[in-house]
Amino acid sequence: MNVRVAEDADVVRSSRRTLDVQTTESGAETAIRYIPPRFVTSSVVDIIGHLGMALIWLTVGWFVYERRAALGFVAIGLPFGLLPDTDLWLEKVFPTVHHHGITHTILFVTLASVVVGAAVGKWVVPKLEGKYVPQGEIGNEYAYAIGALWVGGLSHLFADMLSAPDIASPIEPFWPLARSEVITMDLIWYNSTFWNWGFFLTGVALTLGFWWARR
């Protein structure tokens, strides 16, 4: 079997796998190995989709906290819905970093949530209590902040599992425990206007709906 390297995403658009096998007219099989381009950028549509998925996942806060505390939970966790894609910037500085690599793992999201959450729990959450959120509704400030960031970050991994974008490799969320296991559902195109706006509008509708229902 001949192996050919392809850098054009269109070559493997129908497969979305790192190795695609095609049969020529002569009957010979050619394996096309896809190497993602060096730099991949997020589009506005893609960002909107991740924010929407974060809003959907963060609805868990409405079942744990009272009205204002739940809204604060959503607000704190929402930015982390974009956290894993920091690798798009890191790969420009560090050659070993690539899109859908270590930042797209549960390990990274957990560590980042604990570190950033500790700071948010110490300096940001206390300012919410008493001023925007009734005293005592939040409970443990650190658990509140870390939980919000963790849920927001995990929502990004789930969204990327739904699509194996043709311009980047599938994610490995359970690295380093399962290095060879590539997890992807490959259901939607990552830059689909329909799906991304659908996630966003659903997330906004759920947030507004819970806010109204808990009045």
Q: Please give the single-letter amino acid code of residue 111.
A: L
**Which pLDDT belongs to residue 165?**
57
Query: What average pLDDT does the chain have?
Result: 83
Q: Is the dihedral of CA 129, 130, 136, 137 positive or negative?
A: negative
The series of mean pLDDT values per 10 residues for the chain, 215 residues long, is: 40 38 50 44 82 99 98 98 95 90 96 99 95 95 99 96 71 83 72 94 99 94
* DSSP E strands, the chain: 2-6, 19-23, 29-34
**Which pLDDT belongs to residue 163?**
80
pLDDT tens digits, 175-201 = 988 865 566 677 788 888 999 999 999
Domain boundary assignment for the chain = 2-34, 44-213
Q: What is the DSSP string of 48-109?
A: HHHHHHHHHHGGGHHHHS-HHHHHHHHHHHGGGGGGGGGHHHHTTT-TT--TTSGGGSHHHH
Q: Is the dihedral of CA 186, 187, 192, 193 positive or negative?
A: negative
Q: Residues 199, 49: contact at Cβ < 8 Å?
A: yes
**Which pLDDT belongs to residue 3?**
37
Structure tokens at 25: 């007219």
